[in-house]
Chains A and B, each alone.
Chain A
Amino acid sequence: MGTENPGRPSFPARTAATPFAAAPPQNVMPFSSSGPLVGSEASGFRPTPPAAPQPTVPFSSSGPLAGSQSSGFRLPPPPRYNDPSVPPPASNVPPTGGPFQRFPTPPFPSTVQAPTSRVPPVGQPIAQTPAPPVSFRPQPQIPPVPMGAPPQSVNSAPPNVNVPYSVSDSSFPAPMTNFQSSFPGYARMQSNADLQPPPMQSPFPSHQGGYAPAPPTSSTPFLSHQGGYVPPPPVAAPLGLQSRDQMQYPGSGAPGSIQGLIEDFSSLSIGSVPGSIDPGVDPKALPRPLEGDVEPKLFSEMYPMNCNPRFLRLTTSGIPNSQSLASRWHLPLGAVVCPLAEAPDGEEVPVVNFVSTGIIRCRRCRTYVNPYVTFTDAGRKWRCNICSLLNDVPGDYFAHLDATGKRIDLDQRPELTKGSVEFVAPTEYMMRPPMPPVYFFLIDVSVSAVRSGMIEVVAQTIRSCLDELPGYPRTQIGFATFDSAIHFYNMKSSLTQPQMMVVSDLDDIFVPLPDDLLVNLSESRSVVETFLDSLPSMFQDNVNVESAFGPALKAAFMVMSQLGGKLLIFQNTLPSLGVGRLKLRGDDLRVYGTDKEHMLRIPEDQFYKQMAAELTKYQIAVNVYAFSDKYTDIASLGTLAKYTGGQVCYYPGFQSAIHGEKLRHELARDLTRETAWESVMRIRCGKGVRFTSYHGNFMLRSTDLMALPAVDCDKAYAMQLTLEETLLTTQTVYFQVALLYTASCGERRIRVHTAAAPVVADLGEMYRQADVGAVVSVFSRLAIEKTLSSKLEDARNSVQLRIVKSLKEYRNLYAVQHRLGGRIIFPESLKFLPLYGLALCRSTPLRGGYADAPLDERCSAGYTMMTLPVKKLLKLLYPSLIRLDEYFLKASAQVDDFKILEKRLPLAAENLDSRGLYLYDDGFRFNIWFGRALSPDVAMNLLGADFAAELSKVTLSERENEMSRKLMRILKKSRESDPSYYHLCHLVRQGEQPREGFLLLSNLVEDQMGGANGYVDWILQIHRQVQQNP
């Protein structure tokens, strides 16, 4: 589309904005005297000046189009219409049948810019004219604002063309009631057939005549003369590409009904009475993502061969065609990739074996063959979709083409029909034979670890998972423990008991045995089991308080360096001996709020970063499990996980009675989930764009190759792209993610996800195709990275600033013409962005100041959020809140009706009824909130006899009654729906401070809390900033 609009790029962003900023006053002036809205037009049209927006007056809110049209046709036009830029009707007739985008350019050379977005209008949800105001607004949740739909093209419309709709504009500031009253009349006007719905008014003036929607009932003579583009009936207009096809219908085609071109964005009314100083927002009307994450449909519908959005999501599927356009998109431009996302049954990624022919790849850019490549020359050549080089088709892969140019064997070639596919890698993709899955456990056995009961839980869990470890019979396993010395265990299969070897020389670490420290699980099974059974008792009398963590880490590295694999570290005491010794940091209150504050969130000792680099080189991934009740410097320990593609699990103040279940579940998940070993990942994209920065847990091996010693389904990676060329000439940009890995079964594979996205020439289109989930994911990673180099305050401000900038840009696109003075307007696709932004600012890594979250929790939450896939992250940012008691009291017929889980409430304290029972679920834990006035029956049924006791000491368990079973079923259901983390259940009673505070109230992101804003204040604040002049 970009290329068809040559005028556009030459206007830099700012200058484009200026003409229209000046325009409205100009235009409005002449008419202001003639009273509200219609006057001018009507006067142009008919001698009798109608009186304002009364229903009886035809044309009261008459479309500007009608005005101008009529002027062109019947009446002596008002002077303004003689303006040269308003073309005579004759020239209005576009080339019949030509695509809509095309015609504005030739016929209107004088209209300064061709309207920027001709595509969008058609794709819009359609407003039926006769319908009440609601129909203009696709979002029902913002009822008070009926006129939410200014069109896109307005931006570039030159002043003179603006005339008509400046008139209609005047209806916007009018009080709502007034406005609505104009509708009946408006509806009536339809019968007069030369009017259109308000939303349409504005798009057309700029290319009047070119685009005249047909009225629903009759088409008047001049309309048909018009010959312009008449949109097809609204019913059939879906979004996206299809709409473009439809646009090619010639003019007078479908007189079925008026199609309103609604820009799909919403506007929020702030200040229902114009001029009021203290604007009030209706909190109920604000958008909330109560349905959770919605994957962008548009993207996959436009390109059905794209990979599923669970693997790859772009922050906007409209790629800007120029650098200037990209710079006006103030949100991140990039992608979130989750290469191994779990696919539901029946949608597994197909495996393709190319060993006989070698994998088909482009000679120049190394792109893998995918559904978007095209075959030419009778099937002997194929053109790479990314660099458009013509490649030869190898003899073994040759197939004839049918009449449409498709290969005849298409249905047997998943790689040519599916966006996601796995290739079996030939030997060239192997540095060495595929490694077996290796698990090495490094366990802290100092006194605090023993006391917390961690060792016992870990040993039991590992033992119970031995059967399910992936990769049987090649799986290798090994153990080492440490306190002030390091203990190795010889687990040779011929032994009956493991032999312990103690190395206490911490300065010069050596490994006491060359092998048998890492053993084949299937051979040494009995020894391993004996070891795990005896491990808890071995150290139960240990009183050692030291921790030689650094040396132990080095020793583990030496044992594992032959093969690589996964290193699981269970750590309880702040490392105090040998290299990598850590100090207590963060207890100096004076540091907080200064420029040195961020130093607490980054590792102090370079040892950990260097170690992580070494580990990655030898294909070792580190997962850190930390349990301390005191400060353990997660910031430093987490570095190990960050650069090796691992994860950090932090259980502050671990006690096996409380957290045992959580650790058991999460460790078991870590051990048994499908894992990809010794992998590297690269994302390729078309010419002119390039991925420049990557965010997540990995090590960058070259500029664009991510080294990932281990990947699993719970890890996602974000990346940002930039435009390298000032102008993209292609219509489509393709993305291809390739993950080369060794599966646990010992096969080397390449998983390839391919997606295409259109290049767009205008900002409105980018906004429409935005994916709020991906935007928020990239945002949160950027914000967390920012906390590592500056103050929390700055990180939060940068989030806010970018939201404000983007809304301001959006406002510049539309607001001025429509005088949405008192409103916030934002694109439909990003309506949740402000709320997620607020939630992000209040999430654990970014919230408040020193006192609001312990340093370790902040860091570990930061590390976790860097890896979360989109869905999970959104759930964490805006958790679900569900009322349970009503459900319990219902008849048991609906026992298995889990619809209740979908009835989410806004996260505000006002939604907590003191007579109710609520479940709060953020994907990591449940908080069950007992209202003060909750019927004792319910509490008794759920908690048994101790329902009146302090709830922090009560644990939930299933009891012999229906209610309790129901609750348990619900909890189980939610846990099953999201197995990557275990939801630990906390019970809290209303008014039980301070637990209620930190468990629930501080997480109700819509409420004001401490220094943080509530949702309403936040919106107002953003709104104020948006309104400020640049």
Chain B
Amino acid sequence: MVKLTMIARVTDGLPLAEGLDAGRDPQDEFYKQQAKSIFKNLSKGHNESSRMSIETGPYIFHYIIEGRVCYLTMCDRSYPKKLAFQYLEELKNEFERVNGDQIETAARPYAFIKFDTYIQKIKKLYLDTRSQRNIAKLNDELYEVQQIMTRNVQEVLGVGEKLDHVSEMSSRLTSESRIYADKARDLNRQALIRKWAPVGIVIAVVLLLFWVKNKIW
């Protein structure tokens, strides 16, 4: 069954609409955050494939990207993949029909929040997997979902994380090497001082003695 439905713009990850299904469960909150980081990853252009399923814990995310808009839903693992994608297709068609021309100009988050009533309505149709309508859809051979890739959420989010990690490491490397260079220079100077200081002091003392001697005598 569908737990979560979100629609966001791919170019900048701006959320456009969301279903009213947000429970107060802290666990749901966690998955919602994951969904948001997926959007963020998408906006960075890490995942190009327009259809994908991503496993996470007991749930699975399905998303389709069409016309620079990402339609994402989260279902139980047992929920038929085929139905989930048909659900998203249906949302996509309606969303494009209603808001298609304003998607690019939307400037504020949840600009199309009014779409949630439609999401709610469609969602109810897909709740029961054994209803006549849904069984018919499942049997519809024309809609092919087999080749849609399934990956793990760690992988998906990991790509971004790894890149971040690498860049972070490299930047850390730069700064540390700079620190190293500074320190080396400092040490050199100290070594020099240590080496010549005694000699200098001796010479100074001798000169002083000479001077004193000249003064007195």
Residues of chain A touching chain B, judged by Cβ–Cβ distance below 8 Å, are 353, 355-356, 424-427, 430, 432-434, 436, 473-474, 520, 522-523, 561-563, 618, 746-748
- In the complex, the answer to whether A748 meets B107 with C-beta atoms within 8 Å is no
Is residue B110 within 8 Å, beta carbon to beta carbon, of the partner chain? yes
Q: Which A residues touch B107, using CB under 8 A?
A: 353, 355-356, 424
**A-B contacts, 16 listed (Cβ < 8 Å):** A353-B108, A355-B109, A424-B108, A425-B109, A427-B109, A433-B17, A433-B18, A434-B113, A436-B20, A474-B114, A562-B22, A562-B23, A562-B24, A746-B113, A747-B108, A748-B110
Beyond known contacts A433-B17, A433-B113: 20 more, CB 8 A cutoff: A355-B14, A426-B108, A426-B109, A427-B14, A427-B109, A430-B109, A432-B18, A433-B22, A434-B110, A434-B113, A436-B20, A473-B114, A473-B117, A474-B114, A520-B120, A523-B117, A561-B24, A618-B24, A746-B114, A748-B110
| B120 to chain A: closest residue by CB | A520
Known contacts A520-B120, A561-B24; A433/B108 CB under 8 A: no
Residue of A427, A430, A436, A748 with most chain B CB atoms under a 10 A cut-off: A427
Q: Which residues of A contact B18 (CB under 8 A)?
A: 432-433
Q: How far is the CB of A782 from chain B (nearest CB, A)?
A: 37
Q: Does B160 contact A (CB under 8 A)?
A: no
Is the pair A432, B116 in contact by a Cβ cutoff of 8 Å?
no
Q: How far, in angstroms, from A425 to B108 measured CA to CA in the complex?
A: 8
Q: Beyond A433-B15, A433-B18, A562-B23, is A474–B117 a contact (Cβ under 8 Å)?
A: yes
3 interchain residue pairs of minimum CB distance: A433-B18, A746-B113, A427-B109
Chain B 1-42 interface residues, beta-carbon cutoff 8 Å to A: 14-15, 17-18, 20, 22-24
Q: Which A residues are in CB contact (< 8 Å) with B116?
A: 433, 436, 474
Closest A residue to B106 by CB, please name it: A355
- Complex Cα distance, B121 from A523, in Å, reads 10
Most chain B CB inside 10 Å of its own CB: which residue of A430, A433, A618: A433
> Which residues of B are at the interface with A, using a C-beta cutoff of 8 A?
14-15, 17-18, 20, 22-24, 107-110, 113-114, 116-117, 120-121
Residues of chain A lying within 8 A (CB to CB) of residue B109: 355, 425-427, 430, 748
Closest-CB distance, A358 to chain B (whole angstroms): 12
A522 touches B24 (CB 8 A): no
Contacts of A436 in B (CB 8 A): 20, 116
Task: Choose one: A356, A522, A562, A618; the contact of B117 (CB below 8 Å).
Answer: A522
Docked Cα-Cα span, A199 to B15, in Å, equals 68
State the CA gap A523–B114 with chains docked (Å).
13
Question: B108 to A355, Cβ gap below 8 A?
Answer: yes
- Residues of chain A within 8 A of B14, CB atoms compared: 355, 427
Chain B residues, CB < 8 A from A474: 113-114, 116-117
CA distance A424 to B109 in the complex (A): 9
> Cβ of B114 and Cβ of A563 under 8 Å apart?
no
- Taking CB atoms, residues of chain B closer than 8 Å to A353 are 107-108
| Cβ–Cβ < 8 Å partners of B108 in chain A | 353, 355, 424, 426, 747
CB closest chain-B residue, reference A563: B20
B residues within 8 A CB of A433?
15, 17-18, 20, 22, 110, 113, 116
Which residue of A has the minimal Cβ distance to B19?
Answer: A433
Tell me the complex Cα distance, A474–B17, Å.
Answer: 13
Q: What secondary structure prevails in chain A residues at the interface with B? A: loop
Residue of A nearest to B32 (CB): A432
- Residues in A with CB closer than 8 Å to B121 are 523
Closest to A618 in B: B24
Most chain A Cβ neighbours within 10 Å, of B17, B18, B22, B108: B108
On chain B, the residues within 8 Å of A561 by CB distance are 24
Cα A473 to Cα B14 in complex, Å, equals 23
Q: How far is the CA of A522 from the CA of B120 in the complex (A)?
A: 13
B19, chain A: closest CB distance, angstroms: 9
Q: In the complex, what's the smallest C-beta–C-beta distance from A966 to chain B, in angstroms?
A: 48
Nearest CB on B from A191, distance (A) = 72
Would you give the shortest CB distance from B40 to chain A, in whole angstroms?
A: 11
C-alpha spacing A648/B201, complex, angstroms: 91
Chain A residues near B113 (CB, 8 Å)? 433-434, 474, 746
Q: List the B side residues contacting A522 at CB < 8 Å.
A: 117
Using known A-B contacts A427-B15, A433-B15, A433-B18, determine if residue A520 contacts B24 with beta carbons closer than 8 Å.
Answer: no
Question: How many Å from the CB of A45 to the closest CB on chain B?
Answer: 77
Shortest Cβ distance from B13 into A: residue = A427
B110 — which chain A residues lie within 8 A by C-beta? 430, 433-434, 746-748
Residues of B within 8 Å of A430, CB to CB, are 109-110
Pick the most buried of B20, B24, B120: most chain A CB atoms within 10 A of its CB.
Answer: B20
Q: Given the complex of chains A and B, what is the CA–CA distance between A474 and B18 in angstroms?
A: 13
CB neighbours of A473 from chain B (8 A): 114, 117
Give the distance to chain B from A1009, nearest Cβ to Cβ, in Å. 53
Instruction: Specify the chain A residue showing the minimal Cβ separation from B112.
Output: A746
* Nearest B residue (CB) for A493: B121
In the complex, residue of chain A having the shortest beta-carbon distance to the beta carbon of B23: A562
| B36 closest partner in A (C-beta) | A427
A429 closest partner in B (C-beta): B109
- B6: nearest chain-A partner, CB-CB: A433
**Complex CA distance for A434 and B114, rounded to whole angstroms:** 10
Contacting residues, chain B, for A618 (C-beta < 8 A): 24
* Distance between Cα atoms of A433 and B19 in the complex (Å): 9
Tell me, in angstroms, the Cα distance from A709 to B66 when the chains sit together: 37
Q: In this complex, which of B15, B17, B24, B109 has the most chain A Cβ atoms within 10 angstroms of its Cβ?
A: B109
Q: Which residues of A contact B15 (CB under 8 A)?
A: 427, 433
Min distance, Cβ B31 to any Cβ of chain A, angstroms: 13
User: CA–CA, A562 to B107, complex, Å?
Assistant: 28
Report the separation of the CA atoms of residues A436 and B14 in the bound assembly, to the nearest whole angstrom: 20
A433–B17 CA distance with the chains assembled, in angstroms: 8
Q: How far apart sit A427 and B37, CA to CA, in the bound complex (Å)?
A: 13
Question: CB distance B114 to A432 under 8 Å?
Answer: no
User: Chain B's nearest CB lies how many Å from the CB of A187?
Assistant: 69
Residues of the B chain whose Cβ atoms lie less than 8 Å from the Cβ of A562 = 20, 22-24
Report the minimal beta-carbon distance from B112 to chain A, rounded to whole angstroms: 9
Q: How far is the CA of A670 from the CA of B133 in the complex (A)?
A: 43
Most A CB contacts (10 A, CB to CB) among B18, B23, B114 go to B114
Q: CA–CA, A433 to B22, complex, Å?
A: 9
Q: How far is the CA of A746 from the CA of B110 in the complex (A)?
A: 8
Residues of A close to B24: CB separation below 8 A: 561-562, 618
Task: Output the least CB separation between A49 and chain B (Å).
Answer: 83
Residues of A within 8 A of B17 (CB): 433
Q: Which residue of A lies closest to B15 (CB)?
A: A427
**Cα distance A520–B116 in the bound complex, in angstroms:** 11
Query: For residue A434, which residues in chain B have a CB less than 8 angstroms away from its CB?
Result: 110, 113
With a CB–CB cut-off of 8 A, which chain B residues contact A747?
A: 108, 110
Residues on the A chain within 8 Å of B23, using CB = 562
CB distance from B90 to the nearest CB of A (A): 18
Cα A327 to Cα B14 in complex, Å, equals 52
CA gap between A618 and B22 in the complex, in Å:
13
**Distance, CA A430 to CA B33, complexed state (A):** 12
List the B side residues contacting A424 at CB < 8 Å: 107-108
**Taking each of B18, B107, B110, which has the highest tally of chain A beta carbons within 10 Å of its own beta carbon?**
B110
Least CB distance from A616 to B in Å reads 14
Complex Cα spacing A432 to B110, Å: 10
Q: Do the beta carbons of A520 and B22 come within 8 Å of each other?
A: no
| B117 CB contacts on chain A under 8 angstroms | 473-474, 520, 522-523
CA distance A356 to B17 in the complex (A): 18
Could you say which residues of chain B place their CB within 8 Å of the CB of A356? 107
B135 CB to closest chain A CB (Å) equals 20
C-alpha gap A425/B24 in the complex (Å):
22
A137 and B6 alpha carbons, distance in the complex (Å):
69
Q: How far is the CA of A746 from the CA of B109 in the complex (A)?
A: 10
Q: Which residues does chain B contribute within 8 Å of A520, judged by CB atoms?
A: 117, 120
B64 nearest CB across to chain A (Å): 20
Per the bound structure, the CA–CA distance linking A434 and B17 in Å amounts to 10
Chain B residues within 8 Å of A355, by CB: 14, 107-109
Residues of A within 8 A of B114 (CB): 473-474, 746
Q: How far is the CB of A659 from chain B (nearest CB, A)?
A: 37
Bound CA span A425–B110, Å:
10
Return B189 CB to nearest CB of chain A, in Å: 36
